[in-house]
Amino acid sequence: MATDYTPGELMVAAAAREIYDGEVVFVGMRLPLLAFCVAKELHAPAAYGLFESGVIRDRAAPVMPYTMCDPPNIAGAAACTPMATVMSLLQRGDVDLGFIGGAETDRYGNLNTSYIGNPEHPTVKLPGSGGAADIACLARRLVVIMPHERRRFRERVDYVTSPGFGEGAGWRERTGVVGGGPSALITTLGVFEFDSSTRKAVLRSIHPHTTVAHLREETGGILEIPDQGPVTAEPTTDELSIIRRYDPTGFWTGAQ
C-alpha cells in the first residue's frame, strides 16, 4: 500500500472498488471519471461506462476527460448517442451503479443540490439536478461522493433533489421509487453504508488520515460514529499509478 496520497486519491480508489466487472455504470463527473478508469484497468475490464452526454464507453478514455463531453471521452467510444438513449437505459433498469454528488445529505442518504435555506427564498441557489434525480431513482444502486463538512450533514436536507431512502425503511417501496437506493457514501473522511433494516447511514470505514473525534465533529451528531471501526484500505501502488497518469497535476484529486 502507498503511504503518500491525497484524500482525493483515496476517495477515487474507494469509489473504483465499488465498480464490479461486467456492470453498467452511470459515471458522472469529477472523481468518478477517474474511478471508472482505475476499475477498468485493474479489476472490472468488462464494465461499461455511461455518460449523461450520450457517450457509452467499453474502455477507459485514453487521457483524462475534464468533462464528459471532452474529445478524449469521444475518441474510441463504443457509441455517441442522444442523451435520451442513455437515460432510457436507466428507465429500463439496465444501470447497475450510478455515481452522484451532493451539497447536503442526511442520515437516509437524501441529497440536495438545489437550494440552501427556504426553497422559496434560498440563501444559496445551487446548480440543481441535471440527471442526478434520475440516477438516484432508477439505478440498481447508488454511490454518493462528496466532501465531509459539518454544514453538509443535516438532520433533514433543505430540499430533496435526489432521493436516498426518503424517511427511512420502506419509503422507496411505498412511493414507487424503483431503484435500489444508496449503497455507499464516500467522503473525505470515511466510507458509509446504509443499514438494511433502518436505511440509516452507518460507518463502514474511517480514512487513515482522520480521527474518530474529527469525524464526529464534522458529522454534527447526525450519524452514530463508533469509538473503533475498520480503517479504509489505502490506495495501492497500482491504483495510484493510474490515478496520477490520468490526473498528473492533481486537478481533481490534489485539493480534496
pLDDT on residue 2: 55
- 241 contact partners, CB below 8 Å, separation of at least 6: none
Q: What is the pLDDT of residues 110-129, one digit of tens each?
A: 999 999 998 889 999 988 88
Query: pTM value?
Result: 0.94
Confidence of residue 254 (pLDDT cuts 50, 70, 90): confident
Nearest-10 Cα torsion for 5, 7, 11, 14: 50
pLDDT of 150-185, one tens digit each? 999 999 999 999 999 999 999 999 999 999 999 999
Residue 247 grid cell: 490526473
Tens of pLDDT, residue by residue over 24-81, are: 999 988 899 999 999 999 999 999 999 999 999 999 888 888 888 888 889 999 999 9
Burial of 243 from C-beta contacts in 10 A (0-12 / 13-18 / 19+) = buried
Average pLDDT over residues 186-211: 95
How far CA 123 is from CA of 119, 192, 219, 252, in Å, comes to 9, 29, 22, 27
What is the model's pLDDT at position 108?
97
Q: What is the mean pLDDT of the chain?
A: 93
Q: Tell me the domains of the chain and their CATH numbers.
A: 1-98+233-256 (3.40.1080.10)
pLDDT of residue 3: 65
Q: Is the pLDDT of residue 221 over 50?
A: yes
* Confidence tier at 149 by pLDDT (50, 70, 90): very high
CA distances from 171 to 108, 159, 182, 195, 245 (A): 10, 17, 13, 14, 42
Of 52, 104, 234, 239, the catalytic one is 52
Strands of 182-186's sheet, edge to edge?
A: 79-80, 55-57, 48-50, 24-26, 97-100, 141-145, 182-186, 190-194, 201-206
Q: Is 52 a catalytic residue?
A: yes
Does residue 255 have a pLDDT over 80?
no
Amino acid identity, position 80: C
Amino acid at 109: G
Is the pLDDT at 146 greater than 80, yes or no? Answer: yes
| Res. 230 pLDDT band, cuts 50 70 90 | very high
Angle CA(19)–CA(25)–CA(30) in degrees, nearest 5? 85
